[in-house]
Amino acid sequence: MLSGLTKFILGFLLAIAVLIGGGGAVALYFMNRTGIAPAKPIFSNDSPSVKAKAPKTTQPGGGKPALTPGTQTQSSPTSAPTESPKATPSPKPLPSGAYRGRVSWREGLSLRSQPNQEAEKIGGVGFNQKIIVLEENDDKSWQKIRLEDSQQEGWVKAGNTEKVDKQ
C-alpha cells in the first residue's frame, strides 16, 4: 500500500513539474519573439541609398586609364569623332489651365475613373508624387490629374494636392 501512495505522489509532482516547465518554455518563446524588432518598411517616396562609386581602372604608374584591345585613345588620329550627348526631350506643354503639383496627403490618394466616391478605383498616387492637375469638377471637390511618370489620368479628391512652382 505504501508503494502505491508513493507512486501517486511522485506521478502528481512529475505532472506539475512538466506543466510548469512547458508553460515557462512557451512564455520564454513568446517573450523572445516580441523582443525582435520588425524589419524597417520601405516606402515608394523614400530616397534610395547612395552607392559608392567604383574607382577608375588605371595602369600602374601610368596615370592613364587601362585600354582593352581594339580601343583607341582620344589623341589618336584615326579615332572616330565622338557623338555629343543627346538632349533629353522637354516635357510636353501643359494644357491651358493645367499646372504641376504634388500629392500632399500623407497616406496617398485613390485614383478614380469618375469624380465621385463610388467610382471605380483605377490606381493610386503616393505621397509627394509629381502630378499635373488638368481640371476640376463644377463644385471643385474633385480634380482630374495626370501622373507625370506614367501619364495615367484619373480623379482625386480636391484639397489633397498642392501647386508646385517649376523654375
85-132: per-residue pLDDT in tens? 554 545 567 777 888 899 988 888 989 999 988 899 998 898 889 999
Q: For the segment 22-40, what is each residue's pLDDT rounded down to a tens digit?
A: 999 999 998 888 877 777 7
Q: Does residue 161 contact residue 131 with C-beta atoms inside 8 Å?
A: yes
Nearest of 129, 123, 128 to residue 153 by alpha carbon: 123
Cell numbers linked to 122: 483605377
Q: What is the mean pLDDT of residues 136-165?
A: 89
Residue 152 grid cell = 495615367
Is the CB of residue 108 less than 8 Å from the CB of residue 124?
A: yes
| Cut 0.75: pTM above it | no
CATH architecture for residues 99-163: Roll (2.30)
Residue with cell 581594339: 70
> 3-class secondary structure for the chain?
CHHHHHHHHHHHHHHHHHHHHHHHHHHHHHHHHHCCCCCCCCCCCCCCCCCCCCCCCECCCCCCECCCCCCCCCCCCCCCCCCCCCCCCCCCCCCCCCEEEEECCCCCEEEECCCCCCCCEEEEECCCCEEEEEEECCCCCEEEEEECCCCCEEEEECCCEEECCCC
Report yes or no: 136 and 127 within 8 Å, Cβ to Cβ: no
* For the chain, domain boundaries: 1-36, 99-163
